[in-house]
Amino acid sequence: MKKPTISDLAKAAGVSVTTVSHAFSGRRHVDPETCKRIERLADQLGYHPSGMARALRSGRTGVIALASSMPFAVAAGPSRLGFLMEIAASAAMSALTRDLALCLIPPHPTAPSYGTASFDGVILVEPMLDDPLIQHFEQRRTAIVSIGTVPGRPDIPSIDLRSHETACLLLNHLAEQGCRQIAALLGTSPRTSQIESADAYAAFVAQHGTQARLIRLEEEDAENTAYRQMLDVLRTDPAVDGVFASIDAFATGAIRAAHDTDRAIPEKLCVVTRYDGLRAKLSQPPLTAVDLYLPMVAEKAVELLLNQIDGHKHSVKSDLPKLIIRASSQKRGS
């Protein structure tokens, strides 16, 4: 009835546990004859080695975690979909091909109690400045890598999301489309993506000698917040002819606002955003966005984390993001 252990199996096969262990791991030679017998009996008894015992002995659980301190509602979008989940799905695949399992650990209100589970390492998605998750895992001596650099912590290995380049791509594209008065909708949280977007925007307006219209928005209920703000902006500041949104839901909110104030897109107002998710693709009109190569980023993060766990300090660089031009900013003839 109970699960057979290695010593049950050893007893049944008339050998010692050592021999059974070696038979499976191949760390030492055991007689092929004996090997066969052990395997046959293992099958018969339904023996499977205990992951917990193995973990204790080897110090490896075979589990890595994926965490984001962003509220789930934001990270995963209104329908629990989006950025984080796209990374999660890719990372889970990458992890499994390396015989690892991927744990999803959401930011719980009453955290950091974070259960009893222990991980070999953790991938943090766009952590903030002084993110409590970092403190949590550093205390536990858990290997950390980050997707997106960590503000103020260049020592933490990360996959650079190239947010500066991304912002430049989008802003230059707007300029090429003839936009002169560009508003930026950025989140308030101190994450690299927002910081670099703000920097790029500041540099852009300085270079073009145009007026800065930097609008900081809370990321909760992003679409509605952006909608209300943009309604206001479009009414009081009719010169605005471009919107650079750092979060896809900001962009769709802006589109709704444009619609309600009778601004034709893209003729009167171009809207572009950063993350090319389902939201951007299915928006009406579809949103110009940037392919961040998230599956590749996730794959590299897993790779980097494994190096980190093994103590190698190997560094990993990610490819440059690529602009995907769609109807929300593509003017005729250009």
Partner DNA sequence: GGTGCGTAGCAAAACGATTTGCACAAGCAA
Partner DNA sequence: TTGCTTGTGCAAATCGTTTTGCTACGCACC
Residues that bind DNA (CB under 7 A): 3, 5-7, 14-19, 21-22, 24-25, 27-31, 34, 47-50, 52-54, 56-59
Report phi then psi at 309, rounded to 5.
-65, -40
| 230 binding a second copy? (CB under 8 A) | no
Q: CA-to-CA distance for 96 and 199, rounded, in angstroms?
A: 38
Question: Which of the listed partners (a second copy, DNA, none) does 97 bind, with a CB threshold of 5 to 8 Å by partner kind?
Answer: a second copy
Per CB under 8 A, contacts with a second copy among 29-48 are: 46, 48
Identify the H or E element spanning 281: helix 278-282
Question: Which of the listed partners (DNA, a second copy, none) does 206 bind, with a CB threshold of 5 to 8 Å by partner kind?
Answer: none
In the complex, least distance from residue 57 CB atom to a second copy, rounded to whole angstroms: 9
Nearest 5°: CA angle at 75, between 74 and 78?
50
Question: Which of the listed partners (a second copy, DNA, none) does 115 bind, with a CB threshold of 5 to 8 Å by partner kind?
Answer: a second copy
Sign of the torsion angle spanned by Cα atoms 110, 226, 297, 86: positive
Question: Which of the listed partners (a second copy, DNA, none) does 18 bind, with a CB threshold of 5 to 8 Å by partner kind?
Answer: DNA
Is there a cis peptide before residue 285, judged by omega within 30 degrees of 0? Answer: yes
Among the listed ranges 170-178, 192-200, 255-263, 275-283, the one in contact with a second copy (CB under 8 A) is 275-283
Report phi then psi at 101, rounded to 5.
-110, 150
- CA torsion angle 303 305 308 313 (round to 10): 50
Confirm if 125 and 67 have CB atoms less than 8 A apart.
yes
Calculate Rg over the CA atoms of the chain. Answer: 26
| 273 binding a second copy? (CB under 8 A) | no
Instruction: Return the bridge partners of 16, or none.
Output: none
In the complex, least distance from residue 251 CB atom to a second copy, rounded to whole angstroms: 13
Residue type, 250: F
- Which residue, 24 or 72, is less far from DNA as judged by CB? 24
Nearest to 302 by CA among 112, 66, 77, 108: 66
Question: Which of the listed partners (a second copy, DNA, none) does 81 bind, with a CB threshold of 5 to 8 Å by partner kind?
Answer: a second copy
Identify the H or E element spanning 6: helix 6-13
In the complex, least distance from residue 7 CB atom to DNA, rounded to whole angstroms: 6
Q: List Cα–Cα distances, 176 to 154, 293, 303, in angstroms.
A: 34, 24, 38
- Which residue, 59 or 333, is less far from DNA as judged by CB? 59
Site string for a second copy, 67-106 (x = CB under 8 A): -----x---xx-xxxx--xx-xxx-xx--xx-xxxxxxxx
In the complex, least distance from residue 223 CB atom to DNA, rounded to whole angstroms: 45
Question: Which of the listed partners (DNA, a second copy, none) does 141 bind, with a CB threshold of 5 to 8 Å by partner kind?
Answer: a second copy
- State whether residue 317 is helix, strand or coil: coil
Question: Which of the listed partners (a second copy, DNA, none) does 323 bind, with a CB threshold of 5 to 8 Å by partner kind?
Answer: none
Which of 59, 154, 209, 311 contacts a second copy by CB under 8 A?
A: 59
Confirm if 186 and 214 have CB atoms less than 8 A apart.
yes
Question: Which of the listed partners (a second copy, DNA, none) does 29 bind, with a CB threshold of 5 to 8 Å by partner kind?
Answer: DNA
- State whether residue 4 is helix, strand or coil: coil
Residues at the interface with a second copy (CB under 8 A): 3, 46, 48-56, 59-63, 65, 72, 76-77, 79-82, 85-86, 88-90, 92-93, 96-97, 99-106, 108, 111, 113-118, 139-141, 277-279, 281-284, 295
